Amino acid sequence: MRVSFLGVRGSTPAPGEAFERYGGHTSCVALAHDGEVPTLLLDAGTGIRRAVELLDGQPFRGSIFLTHLHWDHVHGLPFFSGSDRADARTSLFIPDQGDGSDPLEMLARGMSPPHFPVRPDELRGDWTFTSHSPGETQVEGFTVRTEEIPHKGGRTFGFRISDATSTITYMPDHCPDAIGEGPDGLGEYHESAAKLCQDADLLVHDAQLVREELAAEGYFGHAAAEYAVELARRTNVAHVVLFHHKPDRTDDQLDEIARRFDDSPRVTVAKQSTVLDL
C-alpha cells in the first residue's frame, strides 16, 4: 500500500514561507495499491487538488471517504480536476448524520449558491453520493472499517483501511477528552479508537494541539500530539504520523514538536510531500 500525504493542515490553509516545508493544504491522504495510481482518497481538503499529480494525466476513478463535513475537509472537492472531468468516476462516501438526511443535500448545504456557484451534482463525470455508517465495507480493493469518533460539531468518523499486506488508521479529528480526562489528562483511550488502531502499521492522528495548549484551545475539539503517541503505544502501532497541524504552527515549531518524542513507536510529523510504502 502506498500512502501519499497531500494536505496535512487543520482548520484552514496556511500559505506563506513559514509553512513551506510541512505544507499549508488541509486534510487529504491518497491510498494506492502497489504500482497503481490512487483509487481511495481520505477527506477532500484543499490538498485533494494535488492528487492530480499522482494520476499521470488519467481521470480519477475511485472513491473518496469523508471523515466529517467541516470546511477544511471538503473545500477542495470542487477544485479536484481529476474528478471534475467527463471521463471520471467518483464515489463519494459522506458520514450518515443519523437523522435521515440525504447525503447529497447534506453536502450541498455548504456547496451551492449563495455559498458556492455550483452544487456537487453539477460537477462533471460520473458521481455517486452515498451515506456511510460505522461498520466494514469493501471498496477499491481495500477493506474499510468505520467507527464513530468524538469531535465537536457534527458526526465524525475514523477509518481503518487494510489490503492484503498493510493497515493504516486515519483519525484526523479526534476529541478524546469529550468522554473523559483519561489516565494522563489528555483524554480517554476509548474502545472505538482502540478498535481502529490495534496492531496497525500506521496511525495518522489529530495532533493539532500539544499538552500545554489543551486547556485553552481544546474547545475546538482536537487532540494533543502526546495523546496520539500514547494511543499508538497502547495499541501496538508501529508508526504514528502527527497530522492536522494548527494553521499558525510554523515549520520551526513543528520541528520542535518532533523532538519531543523518542522512537518507540516511530513518530513522524506529517509533511504534504511525504510518501510511505507500507
Cα gap 20→151, rounded to integer Å: 28
Residue 277 forms part of a structural domain: no
- pLDDT for 262: 82
Residue 122 forms part of a structural domain: yes
- Residues listed for the chain: 278
| DSSP structure class, residue 122 | G
User: How many Cβ atoms sit within 10 Å of the Cβ of residue 231?
Assistant: 27
Cα gap 192→214, rounded to integer Å: 22
* DSSP output for 168-205: EEEESS--GGGG---TTSS----HHHHHHHTT-SEEEE
Residue 276 forms part of a structural domain: no
Cα gap 197→160, rounded to integer Å: 7
Residue 278 forms part of a structural domain: no
pLDDT bucket at 69, cuts 50 / 70 / 90: very high
245-258: average pLDDT: 97
Q: Look at residues 243, 237, 248 and name the one whose alpha carbon lies nearest to residue 223.
A: 243
| DSSP structure class, residue 77 | G
Residue 125 forms part of a structural domain: yes
106-121: average pLDDT: 95
- pLDDT for 169: 98
Question: Structurally, how many domains does the chain consist of?
Answer: 1
Residue 102 forms part of a structural domain: yes
User: How many Cβ atoms sit within 10 Å of the Cβ of residue 261?
Assistant: 18
| 220-233 residue pLDDT tens | 899 999 999 999 99
Domain with 87, as residue range(s), is 2-271
Residue 255 forms part of a structural domain: yes
pLDDT above 90: residue 219: no
72-90: average pLDDT: 97
Identity of the amino acid at 96 = D
CATH of the domain at 182: 3.60.15.10
- pLDDT for 127: 98
Residue 9 forms part of a structural domain: yes
pLDDT bucket at 111, cuts 50 / 70 / 90: very high
Ordered alpha helix ranges (H), 235-271: 251-258
- What b/e string do you get for 2-41 counting C-beta neighbours within 10 Å, with b at 16 or more? bbbbbbbbbbebbeeeebeebbbbbbbbbbbbeeebbbbb
Q: Are 26 and 9 within 8 A, CB to CB?
A: yes
